[in-house]
Amino acid sequence: MNLMESVESLKGIGPKTAAVLKKAGIKTLRDFFYNLPRDYENFSAPIDINSMRPGKVVVRGKIDSLSTRPSRRKRLSITEGVVRDHSGAVRVVWFNQGYRVRQFSPDKEYYFTGIYELKNGRYQITSPSAALVTDVDLNSGFSPIYVAHGSIKSNDFRRLVNNSRERFAEIPDLLPTVPKGTRKEALFKVHFPSSAKVAKEGRDYLAYEELFELILASKLNRQENEKLTASPVPFNVEKIRDFVSKLPFKLTNAQRLAAWEIFQDMEKTTPMNRLLQGDVGSGKTMVAAMAAYEAVTAHLQIALLAPTAILATQHFEGLSKLLSSFGVKVALLTGATKKKEELKKKILAGEIDFVIGTHALLTDDTEFKNLGLVIIDEQHRFGVEQRQKLALKSPKDKAPHLLAMTATPIPRSLQLTVFGDLDVSILNELPKGRQPIETSILAEIDMKDKLYPEILRTVKSGQQVYWICKAIDDNPTTETTSVKSRATKLMKLFPDFRIEFLHGRMKPNEKDEIMERFATNKIDILVSTTVVEVGVDVPNASLMIIENAENYGLAQLHQLRGRVGRGSVKSYCYLITSGENHPSRRLLELEKSTDGFYLAEVDLKLRGPGEIYGALQHGALDLRIATLTDTKLIHRAQLDVEKFLQNDGNMLKYEELRAGISKYQQLTTLN
């Protein structure tokens, strides 16, 4: 069987069905077999209707009196009917599932499973799943549930899979080194399990397969990187020692170690490919500065790419002050830069050593004389293409050394799989004298009593405040307070304070001006959207207020919170909730811990790898099965990939595997 063939080669799938499937992304046989059940319904052991107790039930019977009516509440339709068996009858109710009226024939028997409960004075089974008795594997009572695709509902897809039952035997293996079993068995077990255990066996095999692909992709990335040539930078002990001795503070041990790892990488003729991970405030910029200075001593140019103009400007201000005293020529290139042409000429002529900028750096007419080091700040904000674009600005036949920085710690399991090809340095230590940020969850109604006095105290003592809102403008359909209305309210409450607002729709130079005023303590309270999330460094700010905190992810909240606690005074963070519900696990964890590495692990458990990956890397890692928390399975796949690369590294034979991993390769590479 060629899995790349169209689904139309399956029994029961004509052009019409194929078109619907295609819209859902199911085009080939591979797509079809890999459209795995999202869950299973267990219809085994149905009970008599007259012996049901409230709770989850399974019954078997015929259904009649089906009808749909709109509910009094807007946009809700109610479909109800009566299910009968030999012992009695029960009402069944669905919401917004009008198609149910057409699903059943009155003379056929179905299984129903759902919650039996008392609603508005009557007993009913609410939103039961249903399956034709003849469709369910009678031995197991197990029935897969598929995600509905347009008019193809779970039951329809199950029927299609049933029709193709015989074709499973033809499915070829994907992996050259098959562990236990075969792919055809695994897929069959997942679609037609005879028990929960069997279904899991099938999924485990497929998870292994996915991990194998991921790990292979990242290993191949490494191999490809090793084929490139970079300009080596000899370690310049004296100059670096001198540089470090003139810093206004002592480096942390973690900073020292990271810098040392970077210098070692840059000494080589293979390009460095290193990720510098450090929690917010751990001092990544200083490590980048050392790498840049080292590169300058070897007459290479450096480009630092930052995701926002605010951040680029701030880096420029800090780094040019520091580096110009060592003779390094630093320039800023953002969309708002004046006399761009002139600057670009200087860059091309090699008169600028170190260019710091935003996306404006990526344009074709930004050319370098001898770009040798690329530094990406907040690397997850950039896609592969953008990073590649910058890397291609190095001289012909040369690749630049690459240092990517991120404040989002990578959980260990992701490190082993997705980011296996990267060298990683970790700043797991904050500069001395920092006090941990104290975080509290606060219900909106308590703001007046508990938060406003805190704001007064903070501003009166000369410190500054961030207030984060979700929306820019008021929107009557959501409950979230906007930046503008929050700022107005605060101005009324605190007429003596200097209050301004900031958001992403302002012009870049407007944003920069406000940020500049905040950085120089000309603003007491800055009401802002998450544009301040990344990197901004104002050590005098010591109070962070995040309104509608439930609307943000854990990693993002941690990032936002990291805007305070950067100076020597104690900082506080308030997570404001509506107070209607018990605070989420996310907020509780955040209240408990300031350790980014711990929070990243929690986040991985709460949200799964796909979303975590999104927070680490631009783009979507769409894993169907592998959870990336199974370190045993990861380890096994790792060993097998090693073996495969040693014995059978000729990828050309494995067409399907190659296609699968090239997608992963694009996603997981840094360069």
* H or E, element range at 443: strand 438-443
Residue 57: contacted member of Mg ion, ligand ADP, none (CB under 5 to 8 Å, by partner type): none
Cβ-contact 196, 204 below 8 angstroms: no
List 286, 290, 291, 410, residue binding ligand ADP (CB under 6 A): 286
Does 278 interact with Mg ion (rule: CB under 5 A)?
no
d(CA 525, CA 548): 18
Minimum distance between the CB of residue 409 and ligand ADP, rounded to whole angstroms?
12
Cβ-contact 205, 183 below 8 angstroms: yes
Closest-CB residue for ligand ADP? 283
Nearer to Mg ion, 193 or 535 (CB): 535
* Closest among 475, 440, 377, 476 to 571, alpha carbons compared: 440
List 60, 274, 284, 503, residue binding ligand ADP (CB under 6 A): 284
Which residues, 543 to 582, sit near ligand ADP by CB under 6 A? 566
Residue 193: contacted member of ligand ADP, Mg ion, none (CB under 5 to 8 Å, by partner type): none
Nearer to ligand ADP, 391 or 541 (CB): 541
Cβ-contact 458, 543 below 8 angstroms: yes
Nearer to ligand ADP, 423 or 429 (CB): 429
Q: What is the DSSP letter of 449?
A: I
Q: 253-266 and 284-297 are packed helices; what angle lies between their axes, rounded to 10 degrees?
A: 30
Under rule CB under 5 A, how many of the chain's residues touch Mg ion? 1
Which residues, 417 to 476, sit near ligand ADP by CB under 6 A? 431
Does 285 interact with ligand ADP (rule: CB under 6 A)?
yes
Minimum distance between the CB of residue 536 and ligand ADP, rounded to whole angstroms?
8
Closest-CB residue for Mg ion? 535
Cα-based distances in Å from 490 to 442, 525, 576 = 18, 9, 15
Structure tokens at 70: 């709109």
List 290, 333, 374, 407, residue binding ligand ADP (CB under 6 A): 407
Minimum distance between the CB of residue 315 and ligand ADP, rounded to whole angstroms?
9
List of E strands, 515-626: 525-528, 541-546, 572-577
Cβ-contact 59, 112 below 8 angstroms: yes
List 21, 190, 230, 280, residue binding ligand ADP (CB under 6 A): 280
Which residues, 523 to 562, sit near Mg ion by CB under 5 A? 535
Does 409 interact with ligand ADP (rule: CB under 6 A)?
no
Query: What are the φ/ψ torsions at residue 376 (nearest 5 degrees)?
Result: -115, 120
List 113, 252, 406, 571, residue binding ligand ADP (CB under 6 A): 252
Nearer to ligand ADP, 251 or 569 (CB): 251
Contacts of 451 (CB under 8 A, 6+ apart): 442, 545, 574, 576
DSSP string of 124-170, one letter each residue: EEEEEEEEEGGGS-TTT-EEEE---BTTB-HHHHHHHHHHTGGGGGG
d(CA 653, CA 155): 38
Angle at 589 between CA 585 and CA 590, to 5 degrees: 120
Residue 431: contacted member of Mg ion, ligand ADP, none (CB under 5 to 8 Å, by partner type): ligand ADP
Nearer to Mg ion, 408 or 528 (CB): 408
Piece in contact with ligand ADP (CB under 6 A), picked from 2-10, 81-89, 244-252, 333-341: 244-252
Pattern of binders to Mg ion over 281-300, x per CB under 5 A?
--------------------
Structure tokens at 433: 């004298």
Cβ-contact 89, 83 below 8 angstroms: yes
Cα-based distances in Å from 489 to 146, 249, 349, 495 = 49, 40, 52, 10
Minimum distance between the CB of residue 565 and ligand ADP, rounded to whole angstroms?
10
Piece in contact with ligand ADP (CB under 6 A), picked from 531-539, 600-608, 637-645, 648-656: 531-539
Piece in contact with ligand ADP (CB under 6 A), picked from 100-108, 216-224, 464-472, 535-543: 535-543
DSSP string of 184-208, one letter each residue: HHHHHHHHS-SSHHHHHHHHHHHHH
Residue 283: contacted member of ligand ADP, Mg ion, none (CB under 5 to 8 Å, by partner type): ligand ADP
Piece in contact with ligand ADP (CB under 6 A), picked from 186-194, 283-291, 594-602, 647-655: 283-291
Does 281 interact with ligand ADP (rule: CB under 6 A)?
yes
User: In sequence order, what are the beta bridge partners of 65?
Assistant: none
Does 535 interact with ligand ADP (rule: CB under 6 A)?
yes
List 37, 81, 128, 283, residue binding ligand ADP (CB under 6 A): 283
Cα-based distances in Å from 655 to 3, 650, 651, 652 = 11, 11, 8, 6
Minimum distance between the CB of residue 288 and ligand ADP, rounded to whole angstroms?
8
Residue numbers of the site for ligand ADP (CB under 6 A)?
A: 249-252, 255, 278, 280-286, 407, 431, 535, 537, 539, 566
Residue numbers of the site for Mg ion (CB under 5 A)?
A: 535
